[in-house]
Amino acid sequence: MMKFKCIKGLVEGENVVIMQNDEVQFISSDDRDIVVFGIKGWCDGMGLTFTPKQLVEHFESIVY
């Protein structure tokens, strides 16, 4: 199970998408999108879609 921690918040328009220290779990990916599910913080309980560029700019892998 791949998990990621937000290192840089993201706002789209007037909406907060993620905040620093939020955690998400990887769900799926294709050529253009990466789908994750919020498990901690502002995005808890939300399904979110990011481009690969957004994922690498806003998240780091959590290693247990």
Q: Are strands 10-12 and 15-18 parallel, antiparallel or unpaired?
A: antiparallel
Distance of alpha carbon 43 from alpha carbon 9, whole angstroms? 11
At 18, list the tokens: 């993620």
* Percent of the chain scoring above 90 in pLDDT: 94
pTM of the entire structure? Answer: 0.91
pLDDT of residue 62: 95
pLDDT of residue 1: 83
Question: How many domains is the chain partitioned into structurally?
Answer: 1
